[in-house]
Structure 1
Amino acid sequence: MTSNPTHATPTTQPPHPTHHFEMRFSSTPRGARLARRLCGERLHAWGVPYGTEAHDTLTLLVAELAPNAVRHGRVPGRDFRVRLTAHHPATVRVEVTDTRGERLHEPATRPPGPDRTDGRGLLLVAALADRWGWHFRPGGTPGKTVWAEYGYTRPDRDARDPSRP
């Protein structure tokens, strides 16, 4: 697991994604909820079934990163973007891009006190993702992208039901 890189350049991805989903959402709590729900539906359609550890983990990564874009990266009148990319073999990359570049995502070095209800999101992302980080938007465009990658084993038909031939 890696933490936030010391440089702000995009990482390379495998050249041919198996599946790709990208959509812009309003920078509101409602937009963040819709992003989580649509990503969950897309994952299920790609063969990452509801209720599996992989689906729950990936949906939780979206559920942490999308509200961060709304809360910390919001610029009035500008949307945030979510991108899901599935690569073979069984790695999904979640990217959330906002339009505010001066507020950078830095995880807390330790969990906040028990009296606080915030400040745990990136700690959770770091714990769940195989790799995560951020980079500025390319081309000098204001904003940043926070990304997380999660690798999983696709459920095998024989593993689910050993009695089936």
Structure 2
Amino acid sequence: HEFSDEQIVDALANAAGIGYLITRNATVSGAEGGCQAEVGAASAMAASAACELFGGTPRQCFAAASNAIAGLLGLVCDPIAGLVEAPCQKRNATGVANALVSAQIALAGISNLVDFDQTVDAMYKVGRSLPFELRESALGGLAATPAACSFCQGCAH
């Protein structure tokens, strides 16, 4: 799309601002909030930056970030064998697609019923209500399947 260096820098600053707000008001830690916090925050940051790059207003950028979080709300963190290779890398790829669609929705003028701040708050509350096993412990979700347990020594499953 031939964006200028200045446009890229502005979009990165936008993403950083979204990340700061999520970190300040919730969490980006999978251990505290599940993958929705890690992948969701990254997706929200990318959505807002993409929205700005394509001419979105600040309101639309916040809407794009909200859309991205809403699209991944409740996503558990269940690294197989305690590593981030699976399913984490694939979830981050899903987060990229989610970010671009979220930006397109906002740019199309589709408004949200819940604003960014409330969406971040909801994400934090959902994450805190996830059982420990679904928050980066490698004890639940895909990490607790027989196939995944075959990668660990002494797995109890």
- Identify whether the pair has TM-score above 0.5, normalized to the shorter chain: no
- As a proportion of its length, which structure holds more strand? 1
**TM value normalised by structure 2:** 0.35
**TM value normalised by structure 1:** 0.34
